[in-house]
């Protein structure tokens, strides 16, 4: 596939996804310190969080936590296990088939809800307790993302996760050359 000059720009490339992601696991934690509970669906409440989750409160950037199924497999490999139970990772939603880090600065739809990427979900000391020696370090760089809920809606297993931004007009690389930015070509 031959790309046009516009299609080679980073702003354009960051809007391109091979496929939507898919929700493969959902959990909520009704109380602090407890293991999460697996659910088939959950209602995402705008500006609050997931119904029934102890993190649900007005405001905040960590209303929902998401992790990639592919990263859970990598973590399992790094701690010498065949698999890791997603409940031990304490994330709300596990998705497969999409790079969550590529959602940085983007809004995305899961089921009927609209969320916005707010940051990385870094591991805590609980990962060492839950996964054993080296669990914290295995999770570094693989902890997923945090998001806030922009529009309420139901999120269910097998729902698609789709970025909302559509390709727009982007400046071509020649419009902002290296010399325009004071760099030597």
DSSP string covering 45-113: ETTTEETT-TT--SS-S-SEEEEEHHHHHHHHHHTT-S---GGGGT-SEEEESS-GGGGTT-EEEETTE
Predicted local confidence at residue 126, as pLDDT: 85
**9 Cβ neighbours under 8 A, 6+ residues apart:** 170, 171, 172, 173
Q: Look up residue 176 and give its two tokens.
A: 């902002």
Q: What is the pLDDT of residues 82-137, one digit of tens each?
A: 999 999 888 999 999 999 999 998 999 999 999 999 999 988 888 888 888 999 89
Predicted local confidence at residue 117, as pLDDT: 94
The C-alpha atoms of residue 129 and residue 150 are separated, in whole angstroms, by 33
Residue in the block written with tokens 């998001």 = 147
Please check the confidence at residue 181 and state whether its pLDDT lies above 80. no
């Amino acid at each position: 596939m031959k790309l046009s000059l516009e299609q080679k720009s980073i702003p354009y490339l960051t809007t391109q996804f091979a496929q939507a992601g898919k929700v493969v696991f959902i959990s909520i934690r009704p109380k602090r310190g407890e293991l999460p509970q697996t659910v088939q669906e959950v209602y995402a409440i705008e500006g609050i969080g997931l119904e029934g989750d102890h993190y649900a409160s007005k405001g905040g950037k960590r209303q929902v936590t998401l992790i990639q199924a592919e990263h859970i497999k990598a973590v399992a490999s790094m701690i010498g296990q065949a698999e890791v139970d997603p409940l031990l990772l304490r994330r709300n939603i596990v998705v497969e088939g999409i790079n969550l880090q590529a959602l940085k600065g983007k809004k995305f739809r899961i089921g009927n809800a609209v969320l916005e990427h707010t940051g990385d979900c870094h591991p805590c000391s609980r990962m060492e307790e839950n996964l054993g020696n080296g669990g914290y370090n295995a999770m570094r760089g693989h902890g997923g993302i945090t998001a806030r809920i922009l529009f309420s809606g139901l999120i269910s297993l097998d729902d698609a996760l789709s970025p909302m931004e559509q390709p727009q007009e982007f400046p071509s690389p020649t419009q902002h050359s290296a010399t325009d930015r004071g760099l030597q070509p």
